[in-house]
Structure 1
């Protein structure tokens, strides 16, 4: 299967505030149908594409600091405009940014400090209420729940660039027909991604939490596909990852469009290795005593209108059994004799800070 791709070049980098999104979305007003409002009264637009009988609900950035899938959706919007809408059997209902308050502040939570992905039962926030109202209105045949995941997740010795989940519907994680149908679609997306990022795809933990939106909508009877956009080597802005997400979405939507999705073959989903929290961004090893090492994690901080990456020492309480996206010998950073690893931590952090200041 050949998957076309166009990048929405006006939206690059991890910081996608509502104002920027609003400007870009003006190009796609022909798909706009309604909107809700955030707790701080920013609009939450809803778009409708297609006229088929199958209805699919897609939402992104319910966590404000998870923008990769929003950019991937904009890439699909651009593709549909350039190439024409290809899914004649499907209607798409798309919320590109559910949490504009958090997007502006670059926080996981919304303007009231609430994690919207733990609000699926309480529905205490305007954003959660709008999503549920849309769900009730659309009565989708499938949902796509789009997120980012941190650089700490890996699959074996590779970072988890994309991770999938068919959410559980009970504490025992029983594999119901709803879950099997979601897993069947995931199987097709994974098959395609393995052609370009073989070994970089993981399966997300399926612990059940009915407060989570994906679990709740699966519990309500809708096959829900959760996609986590993760880290590709060197790609801290997730520009490469956004391409893989857009392509995976295209493949998943194509499969739903072209097939009566059943459960045959769903077990291939279980062949996707479960991702683990096994990576840190940097590891510094003491040349004289290789057992002595420290790990450094990059923390994302909003400064003005850009995200900067601030190195933070990982506590020794977290252990030393991690892999790292980049490893240095101490002598490569501190070229002096008799360097002591722990005494040079401020120098090491400053070295990394300068290295990442332009990523």
Structure 2
């Protein structure tokens, strides 16, 4: 398989964009999938909405993927649609995937949360904290699929906030990964080692596309998290976190990067090339920091004279679901609560007339009064 030859623009599912993604948006795409894709209703959500799975291939290596466990984390859903669109093509590389693996993808596990653009489900439960108690129908559906499909690999697909940077650098964590722990001591195990090697393979691809913009997510153990729970059952499980790319609040560039990571992961699995990558390759990925705000404003006393001349304003966007779309609403963060080293995805200086006009046009000035 030669990912370098892929023209992403040709497989990008352009009719599904933005942050708000529900089964309504997926309906036409899913219904148009050719017979080589098996679409099933695998259960219903709290509010009775069908949860679907899409199965492709007939090979012995079995990969289970699920997205939008958190309803407001849709970037990876768009990426798996691009993957499915790629798999519709007729060429040798794709035939190799079909004969080597069986993919089972749940594009939206939490359709009620997706419809309301909430992290939680309709019962206000975080499904990623329900792996042991299984109080929610969506959690039970995922467990049932896991037990019946018997995957060799699990891909747990999420979004992360714009606050994350790589290590202590000013590089945003555009994509982050985690090989979840399986015990409190965060020991290694055969399945966790495989997870680490597979992440290292995907990182090798992404470093060519976004150098130094891949982070490693915190591996604190929580048996109620699905990734940890599946790792406890000795199934290599990988957490994907789709993050921020410059000026990409709709996460369209990030979806492309997740697509390439997914394909590299599949390529590594079917080529039996895991041993080309090491645990140390994984551990060399810097851990995520939390040093980003969406907007950083210097010389803010030019906006509000009562502020000191060295006062910096830190602003983040709150995602507000309004009239069927996601609106990014600016909010000023607590001045006193910020650590010393903070980076801004947008850096503005009130000494600059262009920046001042931008602040006024985007109603930032009104936040100060």
Q: Give the TM-score normalised by the residue count of structure 2.
A: 0.88
In structure 2, what is the equivalent of residue 45 of structure 1? 52
Q: Distance in 1 between matches of 2:347 and 2:150?
A: 49
Change over 3 Å in CA distance of 1:111–1:258 after alignment to 2? same
Instruction: Give the C-alpha shift of residue 24 in structure 1.
Output: 2.0
Q: Distance in 2 between matches of 1:49 and 1:312?
A: 44
Task: String of CA shifts for 1:196-236, please: whole Å, max 9, x gaps.
Answer: 10000000000000100001000111000111000001111
In structure 2, what is the equivalent of residue 9 of structure 1? 14
Instruction: Give the C-alpha shift of residue 332 in structure 1.
Output: 3.5
Instruction: Give the C-alpha shift of residue 353 in structure 1.
Output: 9.4
Count of residue pairs brought into register by the alignment: 345
Q: Distance in 1 between matches of 2:295 and 2:12?
A: 30
In structure 2, what is the equivalent of residue 313 of structure 1? 332
Q: Distance in 1 between matches of 2:353 and 2:112?
A: 40
In structure 2, what is the equivalent of residue 207 of structure 1? 220
Task: String of CA shifts for 1:143-200, please: whole Å, max 9, x gaps.
Answer: 0000000000011211100001000011111121111100111111000110110000
Structure 1 residue runs of 5 or longer lacking an equivalent are 337-345, 355-359
- Is contact 2:300–2:312 with CA below 8 Å preserved after alignment? no
Q: Distance in 2 between matches of 1:332 and 1:24?
A: 47
Instruction: Give the C-alpha shift of residue 36 in structure 1.
Output: 1.3
In structure 1, what is the equivalent of residue 347 of structure 2? 327
Q: Give the TM-score normalised by the residue count of structure 1.
A: 0.91
In structure 2, what is the equivalent of residue 104 of structure 1? 115
Q: Does 1:188 align with 2:201?
A: yes
Question: Aligned with 2:218: secondary structure?
Answer: coil
Q: Which runs of 4+ in 1 moved over 6 A?
A: 333-336
CA RMSD of aligned residues (A): 2.2
Question: 1:219-234 to 2 correspondence within 5 Å?
Answer: 219-234=232-247
Q: Distance in 2 between matches of 1:137 and 1:205?
A: 30
Worse overlay, 11-20 or 324-333: 324-333
In structure 2, what is the equivalent of residue 357 of structure 1? none
Change over 3 Å in CA distance of 1:36–1:286 after alignment to 2? same
Structure 2 residue runs of 5 or longer lacking an equivalent are 302-307
Change over 3 Å in CA distance of 1:105–1:333 after alignment to 2? farther
Question: Aligned with 2:208: secondary structure?
Answer: coil
Which of residues 228, 231, 254 is equivalent to 2:267?
Answer: 254
Q: Distance in 2 between matches of 1:334 and 1:256?
A: 50
